[in-house]
Structure 1
Amino acid sequence: MRVYLASAGTGKTQALVEELKGLLRSGVPLRRIAALTFTRKAAEELRERARRAVLELSLEEARREVHGAVFTTIHGFMAEALRHTAPLLALDPDFAVMDELLAEALFLEEARSLLYLKGLEGGWEGLLLALYRKRTLAERLHPLPGAEEVFALFEEALAGYRRRAWAALGPSDLEGLALRLLENPEALKRVVERFPHILLDEYQDTGPLQGHFFQGLEEAGARVVAVGDPKQSIYLFRNARVEVFREALRRAKEVYPLTTTYRHAKGVAAFLRG
């Protein structure tokens, strides 16, 4: 992995755009590159900056492919990877994707109905919601001694949620299935062949499961470039962990600190050319 360690105003996104341009100049087709960030708004900004950069290049193939290029969120990329490998994972490729708030609301509705039917009150709802938010991990862990009842309730509520949302996946569903993808050698191979180059912006906002997913892709042969600033991590409430970025720094084969504020693309490009 190549990592750009950047502070605010030092050209994080522009560093990624320069990586994209370098790949295109070296002959990598745009369709083989995924450029990702954390939020939809940031993804739209990245898409627009990347689109302008591509149009500046005298590369006709890249220009033709720019409108279908994969510039999206991390969860959007997971959905793309899952659709690409759906038959291998026994998954309907036409699944819909729910946003986080809608998925949580649907689970809470199911949990409340279950608690009402069982005559349970007093704190159960909060416990079930906490497990839901961590459910990819919760499903992989054995219940702690004394916690069998709450895990049983959680599994029952989750089963009800899945029956109601069978054709739609929330963010945590995507992460859980993405980890399943890593365990399927053929599916993993297909994703790496489809996207051998992955560019990650705002990597400090990724969570442990997302970090594990990209580490798995890298170990399978994908070339991953990440940009981030551990001082700017703002999504702890979404399970983001700055330790994921620090672990990426530890494992990185190349680390480039961006310490000077660059306000123009030419300055960043000159810096990257060294």
Structure 2
Amino acid sequence: MNLAARDSTFRPAYLAKLNAEQCLAVEHGDGKVAGPLLVIAGAGSGKTSTLAHRVAHLIVRGADPRRILLMTFSRRAASEMAKRVERIAGEVLGRDASVITDALTWAGTFHGIGARLLRDYALEIGLDPAFTIHDREDSADLMNLARHELGFSKTEGRFPTKGTCLAIYSRAVNAQAPLGEVLGSVFPWCAGWAEQLKALFARYVEAKQAQNVLDYDDLLLYWAQMGGEPEISAHLGGRFDHVLVDEYQDTNRLQASILTALKPDGSGLTVVGDDAQSIYSFRAAEVRNILDFPKQFARPAEIVMLERNYRSTETVLAAANAVIGEASERFTKNLWTERKSAEKPKLVSVRDEAEQASYVCQAILTEREAGTALKAQAVLFRASHHSGPLEIELTR
């Protein structure tokens, strides 16, 4: 259900710059451990500010920063969030703000937090606390070693590369899906190697265990498995009064199961995200996590919609709302702004990537001739590998 707005005349001064909906999200529970909260934050709606103010508000209202778990999509985001919390709470409490940030020790990525918790509980789950964490390159090299040991690098047909093998393994772990399903839906060209891949992954796991090594996926996998141990799960969940998660649309099934184990009834749990921005499927991100969240607990999550956009113009948002409206399943929202513009975005159709690159370059040159310097222009694309044809055309 949606919350009703509190009278702004009773709003604390440090929340004065927030709009009514942002305040609803920030004041949910008013500092106490409340039921689950879902904040649907449309693009440019001040999501980061809202989340930072919520954490600060909890601290101002008496929450122990050491018992707040804040998980973001990147280390940089966690650092920036902590600095905002420090500034906001510091202004209200009138003390050295760094004390607040130092106490907010559980702010980071899922993987970073997972690594710390695994060291805390290592002996209880059969791990050596001195385990080493492999990055993606090291993990791919270990996968390649196992590949050579099994003779798969000398097969008659071309066996998947080490990078592809690791990607398949990672997808299966994060999606919590059978290998056959992963191959059929994401890596169909590798489906003929299913039995060999099973053997390879078993050898890869054995090699990690023998070397006391964990890869990035293990940091989530072992954490999720701790959630299946009642005593450990209860102790772990009891360490945190409030759990807040940013970019929830980009979480996968493994991460969702971790949250459910931490807070089975949703108490103290806040997730922020936008189903319309679930487009990258990074590490097997699952949009159902955010779509199903409101009904996941016995007490349905309360929902706050952040629809006011602070970045764009009416005409751009009209186009965006039209595209979002085509989704077969979604949270209904309508982005709006006070920023006016007579200029409308263009939808341009081209035959292929080469023609697309040519069109973009011509548009850039046209803008330059109209007086817009090259350094004042930007080209956005979805993924870095999409830049190839454009870079060639720009160079030409």
TM-score by length of 2: 0.58
Name the Cα RMSD after superposition: 3.0
> Relative to structure 1, is the Cα distance of residues 150 and 169 closer, same or farther in structure 2, using a 3 angstrom cutoff?
closer
1:258 matched residue in structure 2:
306
Paired-residue identity, %: 32
Is 1:29–1:61's contact at 8 Å kept on the other side of the alignment? no
| Displacement after TM superposition at 1:115 (Å) | 4.5
Which aligned pairs between 1:66-77 and structure 2 lie closer than 5 A? 66-69=101-104, 70-77=106-113
Alpha-carbon distance between aligned partners in 2 of 1:85 and 1:220, rounded to the nearest angstrom: 23
Q: Which has the higher strand share?
A: 1
Return 39-48 or 193-202, whichever deviates more: 39-48
2:200 matched residue in structure 1:
153
1:198 matched residue in structure 2:
243
| Displacement after TM superposition at 1:60 (Å) | 5.2
SS at match of 1:87: helix
SS at match of 2:148: helix
SS at match of 2:143: helix
| Displacement after TM superposition at 1:68 (Å) | 4.5
Alpha-carbon distance between aligned partners in 1 of 2:195 and 2:147, rounded to the nearest angstrom: 19
Alpha-carbon distance between aligned partners in 1 of 2:227 and 2:277, rounded to the nearest angstrom: 29
| Displacement after TM superposition at 1:179 (Å) | 1.5
Alpha-carbon distance between aligned partners in 2 of 1:237 and 1:33, rounded to the nearest angstrom: 26
Equivalent position amino acid for 2:304 in 1: Y
2:171 matched residue in structure 1:
134
Given candidates 25, 31, 42, the residue that maps to 2:60 is 25
| Displacement after TM superposition at 1:226 (Å) | 0.7
1:186 matched residue in structure 2:
231
| Displacement after TM superposition at 1:182 (Å) | 0.5
Which stretches in structure 1 are left out of the alignment for 5+ residues? 264-274
> Relative to structure 1, is the Cα distance of residues 192 and 59 closer, same or farther in structure 2, using a 3 angstrom cutoff?
farther
TM-score by length of 1: 0.81
Equivalent position amino acid for 1:170 in 2: D
Return 36-45 or 52-61, whichever deviates more: 52-61
Residues 195-221 of structure 1, C-alpha deviation per residue, up to 9 Å, x if partnerless? 221111111111111111112212066
1:50 matched residue in structure 2:
85
SS at match of 1:125: coil
Alpha-carbon distance between aligned partners in 2 of 1:169 and 1:59, rounded to the nearest angstrom: 43
Given candidates 55, 72, 76, the residue that maps to 1:41 is 76
| Displacement after TM superposition at 1:15 (Å) | 1.6
Equivalent position amino acid for 2:200 in 1: L
Count residues with an aligned counterpart: 260
| Displacement after TM superposition at 1:3 (Å) | 0.6
Is 2:174–2:283's contact at 8 Å kept on the other side of the alignment? no
| Displacement after TM superposition at 1:234 (Å) | 4.7
Is 2:174–2:217's contact at 8 Å kept on the other side of the alignment? no
Alpha-carbon distance between aligned partners in 2 of 1:109 and 1:149, rounded to the nearest angstrom: 13
> Relative to structure 1, is the Cα distance of residues 189 and 114 closer, same or farther in structure 2, using a 3 angstrom cutoff?
same
> Relative to structure 1, is the Cα distance of residues 106 and 260 closer, same or farther in structure 2, using a 3 angstrom cutoff?
same
Is 1:5–1:256's contact at 8 Å kept on the other side of the alignment? yes
Alpha-carbon distance between aligned partners in 2 of 1:225 and 1:83, rounded to the nearest angstrom: 26
Equivalent position amino acid for 1:125 in 2: P
Equivalent position amino acid for 2:289 in 1: V
Question: Comparing both chains, which one has the higher relative contact order based on Cα–Cα distances under 8 Å and sequence gaps of 6 or more?
Answer: 1
Alpha-carbon distance between aligned partners in 1 of 2:307 and 2:176, rounded to the nearest angstrom: 42
Which stretches in structure 2 are left out of the alignment for 5+ residues? 1-35, 182-191, 312-396
